[in-house]
Amino acid sequence: MRTATTPWALGDYDRFARELFWDIGAELAAACGAGPGMRVLDVAAGTGNVALRAAEAGADVVASDLTAESLATGERRAREAGLALEWVVADAQALPFPDASFDVVTSAFGAIFAPDHGAVARELLRVCRPGGTIGMANFTPDGNAAGFFGALLPYAPPQPPGAGNPLAWGDEAHVHDLLDPGTSSLRLTRRTYIERRPGGPAGYAAFVTETFGPVIAMREAAEDPAALDRDLLAFAAAANTGAPGGPAEIPYEYLLVVGEPAA
């Protein structure tokens, strides 16, 4: 077993994100109005999907994540692009920042994986100034993300007692329960993007197996890795909307969350 700070450090998460859903970062940064004169925190930032876009728009950006390797890759990408960001190892459930220290706080498909949803919500609200903006992109529980994670569930390590389902962050009622007490407005919009890979479902499954750290960790720990491979391929084949013989095209529904912390 290779050593890594978290399973997300295995494989090539930067490539995984850039080739499958990189456009979501630009969309979320724009939806939150990130720009000059604003201090932005991206939580569970990965390699900078949202953070780099906010910096490109002129904001003063801090990117935080539990996986130091992802932040190191993001920092290298930022240098190559001539962008200056701060990169901080941090837990979304206990952010090391003062109250009301950011104008915009974002997370795209990241903070949803923290076990304690209530703690995450409280931290997002705490570090964002009243009248600022909290923005999230969260997979919905009734889209293809449910099939993807469902295929992996038999091979996943046990979750901590009381851990929330990451896909619950894509349920409107759950988000209202978490964020309504601390926001003066909350806009929730369901949207869809498409993950495309050459080689049809087999090409998609192979790409995920090669680049996505949690899947790599599950395969290394599995008694029968071939069974995981079969289940992942079955998901890709069932979810694929692409033409036979062409690239895989798998649509994923997500909830775009934009809220304003109350005074």
Please answer whether residues 232 and 215 qualify as being in contact, where contact means their C-beta atoms are separated by less than 8 angstroms: yes
pTM comes to 0.96
CA atoms within 13 A on the CB side of 198: 0
Q: Which fold has domain 14-195+255-261?
A: Rossmann fold (3.40.50)
What pLDDT, on the 0 to 100 scale, is given for residue 4? 74
Angle between helix axes 144-152 and 225-239 (nearest 10 degrees) is: 170
pLDDT in tens, the chain (263 residues): 456 789 999 999 999 999 999 999 999 999 999 999 999 999 999 999 999 999 999 999 999 999 999 999 999 999 999 999 999 999 999 999 999 999 999 999 999 999 999 999 999 999 999 999 999 999 999 999 999 999 999 999 999 999 999 999 999 999 999 999 999 999 999 999 999 999 999 999 999 999 999 999 999 999 999 999 999 999 999 999 999 999 999 999 999 999 999 98
Q: Where are the domains of the chain?
A: 14-195+255-261
- Is residue 44 within 8 Å of 64, Cβ to Cβ? yes
Phi/psi for 99 (5° steps) reads: -60, 145
CB 82 within 8 A of CB 63: no
Alpha carbon distance 14, 37 (integer Å): 28
Spatial neighbors of 226 by CB under 8 A, at least 6 apart, are: none
- What pLDDT was estimated at residue 5? 84
